[in-house]
Every structure is written in C-alpha cells, then in structure tokens.
Amino acid sequence: METNHLIARVKQLAETYFTEIQAIRHHLHAHPELSFEEHETSAFVRQTLEKIGIHDCQSIAGTGLTFLINGKKPGKTIALRADMDALPIQEANQVPYRSKNEGVMHACGHDVHTASLLGAVKILNQLRDSFDGQIKIIFQPGEEKVPGGASLMINEGILENPTPQRILGQHVMPFLPVGTVGFRPGKYMASADEIYLTVKGKGGHAAMPEMLVDPIVIASQIILALQQVVSRKASPKIPSVLSFGKIIGEGATNVIPSEVKIEGTFRTFDEKWREEALNHVTEIASGIARSMGGECIVDIHRGYPFLANHEAYTLSNIKAAADYMGKENVVDLDLWMAAEDFAFYSHHTDACFYRLGTRNETRGIVSGVHTPTFDIDEEALKTGMGLMAWLAIHELMA
C-alpha cells in the first residue's frame, strides 16, 4: 500500500475509533489507581483487548500486560509502551468523567496514554497485512513510583522473547497545542534520585542553646553547603539540579528539636557524575553535622536514569511524523529536567520518547501535569492513537 494512501487509512481509522477511545479515556480517568495497584485498570484493558479480538494477553510485573501483533510475514520486532498508573492528587475538575476515587487522579495523562495505545492497537490490528514483523504491546504499571514499573518489566523479561530492536513511547505535554507533537534526538530527560537527610542533635529549651546541639542550625548549614555540589563541583556542560522541598523540625518558639528531616531531589544527565554528586551529598552532609557536634543520616533512594532518545530512530520518527501531521506541527523539544521510567528502556534498546500536544487556550485547557486541574483537549486522542500506529508501521516498512 502506497505511503500516502496508508497514512490516509490510519487517519480515517483514528477518526472512526475516536468516540470509542474517548469513552475508554473517560472510564480510565474516572477510575484511577495508584502505582502498582492498577488491578481494575489492568482488568479493564484486558477486557477491551478481548473485544478487539486479542485473547493472548500475558500478565507481567503484577498488573502489567503484554502481547504481540503479528504482521503479514516475519521480520523485526518493535515495541509500543503506555503507562497506566495515577497520582495521589484530589481532582478539582468538574467534568462528567472526574475521578470517582477520593484523593487519586490521572493528573499526568496516563489515562490518555493507555487509551491512545488501545486505539493504536485497533488500527494496527486492522492493518496488520500492511507491514512485516511484529509489534510488542506494553501496558506498564507504576511509572510514578520508584523503582518504576519499567525496571520491573525489564527484570521479568519484557525485552526478551522476542527482543524488540526499537521501542516507542509518548507522553502528554500541556505546553504544546493540541494537534502538535514534539521530539528531541539524544539526551532528553534527567535522572532522578530522592535524598532523605535526618539531622540529629540534642534538643531542649531554646533559652539555653549552649547546652544543646541545634539540628535546625546544622540543617541550615547543610542545605547551604550542598548548593555547592552543583555550583562548584559539577561541570557547566552537564545540566544538574539539586533541590530540597521539605524540611521538618518540630520544635517551637522556645523549643529546639532533637532532629530535623530534609527531603530533596538530584537530577542530571550523566551517570558517572550522578554517582560522584550523590557521594558528595553524603560526605558534605555527614561532615558538617559531625563538625558541629551532631549526626546526619543520609538515605538516597536511587530513581530513574537519564532518558536518551536514539538519534537515528528519533530522526526517522520526526520525518514520519511530519509526513503524517505536516512539518509545521512537529516541534523541537528542549532538555527536560523531569524524569520518566521509560528511561530504563532507553538504556537497553533503541528508544524514542516523544510529546503529545494537549493544550487549548481558547477552551481554558492550560493546566500543567501533576496539578488538580490537569485535563486535555481530547482531539489529542486522534493524534495519540493515529501517530503511534503510523510510526510503528513506518518503522516496520523501513
């Protein structure tokens, strides 16, 4: 089938399936589940696949699902991935499909990702005689929570039997207008580690500081000193962020507490520097506390590595996306200091992770992800399912 005709067919199917995929997105949005608790979501996805005619779906990593779509004859294997988990956020939107689960919301668009991949599956299943090879479909749990569902799926063999040569993922982007997508070849998203510091001293009456070891003062010195990890120890060529967002010192105006807790994050784009920086955090925090008569217990939770988009594969997808949507609707992305566990896949095989525009200022759909008012212009679902299907077909035709 000629390329232009095939693109037209994919677009036609995306239009045809839109109402159904929109209803699926509404159901998912109304019934969000937290990371690694996606039992009802997983069951709903499996039931939806069975209605499509896919009955060989396998469970993996708890609530994860995977299966193959086979083309007309053997060839290479590629993978498409969507995440399914939601966030512990109380939804503020007053829409018919608002969350029914108190304190849980699809505030990061994973309902969009799952619905879009289901739409792409319907399209690819319909057009399986148009390509060779096979497509491994991955519905993944737990993207929002360390150690990340991607790492668990990899450990359980998702990238084996068969091994995909390429993997593709998409993510909503509320800063991009609906009808557009964004790509960036090479390094794109940062690694992310969680830092937990417990500063211990000797508490007591605030009027007698000479008899105490003040953990508030020690904590203050530690936070200020740790800013030098980035400003004086990092190469200016490596983007890095060290931020502390939580300090708990439960004293009072006249009470010095015995301990202070500090929580923060470190993000960067280089694995060697990542290790060095975290060692600096441990040494500086422990050393300052010790020099001031106290103690600092450092607990670092290793998160996701940096995400690198394979250069050639991403450039190929940019061209294919331009063919599908028009060059003017495909934009270049900058480095993004947020993290994504899709990064694990990118360290094992050729990967491309791109952004799906969902913004509509005219309709007031402008809220960022991880906020109680996040929502999308649902026209993005047409692009979400259609483009992913086309990029898969394009790669298998290459």
Catalytic residues: 85, 143
User: Strand, helix or coil at 298?
Assistant: strand
Distances (CA, A) of 383 to 170, 241, 368: 11, 33, 19
CA distance 184 to 193: 23
Contact 177, 377 (CB under 8 A): no
**Residue position matching structure tokens 């799926």:** 153
Going along the chain, which residue ranges are E strands?
A: 58-60, 64-70, 77-83, 134-140, 166-177, 181-183, 186-189, 192-200, 204-205, 240-248, 255-256, 259-268, 295-304, 307-309, 330-332, 350-359
State the CB neighbour count (10 A cutoff) for residue 53: 8
For the chain, how many helices (H) and strands (E)? 9, 16
**Residue 298 identity:** V
CA-CA distance, 103 to 113, in Å (whole number)?
A: 21
**Residue 110, CA distances (Å) to 105, 199, 247 in order:** 10, 37, 30
